[in-house]
Amino acid sequence: MKIKRIGVLTRDCAGVNACLRAIVRTAAYHNIEVMGIFRGYEGLMNDDMKIFDRRAVSGIINLGGTILKTSRAKKFMTGQGQRRAVAVIEQNNIDGLIVVGGNGSLAGAHVLADKYNIPVIGVPATIDNDINGVEMSIGADTAINVALDALDKIRDTATSLERIFVVEVMGRDCGFIALRAALAGGCEDAIIPEKKFSIEKIAEEITEGNVRGKVSWIVVVAEGKAKAGVIAGQITGLTGLETREVVLGHIQRGGIPTAFDRILAARYGNYAVELLKNGESGKCVAIKNYQMSSVPLAQAIKHKDIQAEDYYKLIKLLT
């Protein structure tokens, strides 16, 4: 079947707009029309969409978030919601769909492709970088750099005041940002969902370090594993040393995308259109050894090994 019109829906993180731009302009190059679907699956079920031509994506390459807006669509989890989405796709003569987002979005994409036979290609975009079989997701590099920038600034005060900081980064089920930012920032420890931790051991190391003259310390915590305030209080309780906590929150998901994320977004967006055009479906775009490739959506939504143990060991070895 010749693809004449595709629909695009997105989640938000830095680089998603650059990806939308690449999708629209690659499609235009092939004379394929693009329907921009607003507010993710919610907008798909509500028939909330409009045609995006080349000019509609001008000046967005450096913008964070998503100009398509996004939402969490609980109704799409139901058969009724999914059938409604399929009906809207058919009514709008959409021949294929590109879904740009994280695990939840790609799980929805998998359902549409697998259960309803809709041609769908997924594009990984999540700061957690937890899409299985995908080395890097759009938004992850920007998020690490935002966290790193904050860690560097916090380090200035930690060193000057000889103080302990506990910094909470994003990652509900995944320690990717915590581990990568901690390694890049030369932090002393990372508390992550993938690994058991002992607050007594951390306190012991801080006390021993203190005796040796190591008086500043940064512990990075992934939000899904523990709260910075609780950890900071426990460290003070066990060591008698002063601590401060910082919660970075959503600043990590927004902001100007890094060059890495924009380049990835351009390549992923372009490749997603090429795959759909060539009759592929049920796949998620990926890079392997800097080359474009893809993984089945069914595989992409499974648990990803983020090499937590290796990164953690390196953080500790370099402390």
Smallest gap from residue 128 Cβ to ligand F6P (A)? 5
Phi, psi of 276 (to 5 degrees): -60, -45
Q: How many residues bind ligand F6P (CB under 6 A)?
A: 9
Is 141 among the residues that bind ligand F6P (CB under 6 A)? no
Torsion of CA 182, 187, 193, 195, to 10 degrees: 120
User: Catalytic one among 12, 53, 95, 128?
Assistant: 128
Burial degree of 294 (CB within 10 A; 0-12, 13-18, 19+)? buried
Smallest gap from residue 259 Cβ to ligand F6P (A)? 22
Out of 253, 277, 283, 304, point to the residue binding ligand F6P (CB under 6 A): 253
Out of 40, 43, 171, 269, point to the residue binding ligand F6P (CB under 6 A): 171
Out of 33, 42, 128, 168, point to the residue binding ligand F6P (CB under 6 A): 128
| End-to-end Cα spacing for the chain | 57
Show the DSSP H helices in 2-121 as ranges: 16-29, 40-45, 79-91, 103-116
Out of 10, 26, 82, 126, point to the residue binding ligand F6P (CB under 6 A): 126
Q: Which stretch binds ligand F6P (CB under 6 A): 16-24, 120-128, 194-202, 299-307?
A: 120-128
Is 172 among the residues that bind ligand F6P (CB under 6 A)? yes
Smallest gap from residue 63 Cβ to ligand F6P (A)? 18
* Distance from C-alpha of 2 to C-alpha of 119, rounded to nearest angstrom: 12
Nearer to ligand F6P, 191 or 275 (CB): 191
Q: What's the DSSP call for residue 47?
A: T
Out of 22, 170, 192, 206, point to the residue binding ligand F6P (CB under 6 A): 170
Q: From residue 24, how far is each of 5, 16, 66, 122, 191 by CA, in Å?
A: 11, 12, 14, 15, 40
* Distance from C-alpha of 7 to C-alpha of 95, rounded to nearest angstrom: 8
Nearer to ligand F6P, 94 or 170 (CB): 170
Question: What residues have CB less than 8 Å from 164, skipping those under 6 apart?
Answer: 158, 206, 216, 217, 218, 219, 232, 235, 239, 241, 242, 243, 244
Smallest gap from residue 174 Cβ to ligand F6P (A)? 7
Burial degree of 143 (CB within 10 A; 0-12, 13-18, 19+)? buried
Is 124 among the residues that bind ligand F6P (CB under 6 A)? no
Q: Which stretch binds ligand F6P (CB under 6 A): 123-131, 152-160, 187-195, 292-300?
A: 123-131
Q: Taking the mean position of all CA atoms in its chain, how far away is CA 152?
A: 22
Out of 49, 127, 178, 226, point to the residue binding ligand F6P (CB under 6 A): 127
Q: Which of positions 37-96 make contact with ligand F6P (CB under 6 A)?
A: none
Q: Which of positions 211-250 make contact with ligand F6P (CB under 6 A)?
A: 223
* Distance from C-alpha of 106 to C-alpha of 298, rounded to nearest angstrom: 9
Helices (H) and strands (E) in the chain, counts: 11, 11
Nearer to ligand F6P, 195 or 214 (CB): 195
Catalytic residue check, 128: yes
Residue numbers annotated as active site: 128
Residues in touch with ligand F6P (CB under 6 A): 102, 126-128, 170-172, 223, 253
